[in-house]
A and B are shown apart, each in its own frame.
Chain A
Amino acid sequence: AQSVTQPDIHITVSEGASLELRCNYSYGATPYLFWYVQSPGQGLQLLLKYFSGDTLVQGIKGFEAEFKRSQSSFNLRKPSVHWSDAAEYFCAVGPNNAGNMLTFGGGTRLMVKP
């Protein structure tokens, strides 16, 4: 069965600092991978996705993620964090099966210090 692990439950960074959120997945074939962001009281918004091709993918709001098959990882990065990036971030994996459903990690809550 597929699974997703986000090892960091909480991360605090200073505004302007760089950010890396970790995501490790377990899946037998090449997965489809996603990062979502959830602001307080809101639904989830898609940041970026990977399903083939270039392993470094660019997303919205200045985020990027790199797929590393050898490490089963899909870490999310941002060079300079803004206060508005404070939110919860979810990594998800989804195979191309009949139901096309996604499996989500437990989430990482990002706090940004001024």
Chain B
Amino acid sequence: NAGVTQTPKFRILKIGQSMTLQCTQDMNHNYMYWYRQDPGMGLKLIYYSVGAGITDKGEVPNGYNVSRSTTEDFPLRLELAAPSQTSVYFCASRQGAAVGYTFGSGTRLTVV
């Protein structure tokens, strides 16, 4: 099993550009999440999904959008990139509350 796969691993964007961070899981998990990680701040939840077709905002959703058309895929869209979106982005999935997340390896994004 591949688990949770994120692409790309690294990306440099110019201010105002847009991009999509891809996330795919092959474990048939219902719950999927996007977090951003900033130094000393832990992980902050951007968006989450409880199943195909259902998404909801987390703690820091501004500047991002998501979709969940299939169980496997949960892409994160950045529109009009800003320097404040420079961060490491992690996608995660889980099947239920009593199990932990399975994390992807992350995408390091720099906006210049």
Cα distance A51–B90 in the bound complex, in angstroms: 24
From B90, which residue of chain A is reached at the shortest CB distance? A43
* Interface status of B64 (Cβ within 8 A of chain A): no
Dominant secondary structure of chain A at its interface with chain B: loop
Q: Contacts A32-B97, A49-B100, A94-B97; is A99 near B56 (CB within 8 Å)?
A: yes
**A contacts with B, residue count (CB < 8 A):** 28
Chain B 23-44 near chain A by CB (<8 Å), digits 1 or 0 = 0000000010101000011110
* Interface status of A90 (Cβ within 8 A of chain B): yes
* B: contact size bracket: 20 to 34
CB neighbors of B among A13-32 (8 A): 32
From A36, which residue of chain B is reached at the shortest CB distance? B100
- Residues of B contacting A32 in the complex (Cβ-Cβ under 8 angstroms): 97-98
Q: Once the chains bind, are A96 and B97 in contact (CB under 8 Å)?
A: yes
A102: contacting residue among B40, B101, B106, CB under 8 A: B101
B43: contacting residue among A94, A95, A98, A104, CB under 8 A: A104
From A97, which residue of chain B is reached at the shortest CB distance? B97
Q: Once the chains bind, are B31 and A106 in contact (CB under 8 Å)?
A: no
Q: Contacts A36-B100, A44-B103; is A100 near B94 (CB within 8 Å)?
A: yes
* Interface status of A42 (Cβ within 8 A of chain B): yes
Measured between C-beta atoms, what is the minimum distance from B57 to chain A in Å?
10
A-B pairs, 10 with minimum CB distance: A43-B103, A46-B100, A104-B42, A104-B43, A96-B97, A106-B42, A43-B105, A44-B103, A100-B97, A51-B98
**Could you tell me which B residues sit within 8 Å of A by CB distance?**
4, 31, 33, 35, 40-43, 45, 48, 50, 56, 58, 90, 92, 94, 96-101, 103-106
A to B CB contacts below 8 Å, 10 in the list: A43-B4, A43-B105, A44-B90, A45-B103, A96-B97, A99-B56, A100-B97, A101-B31, A101-B33, A106-B40
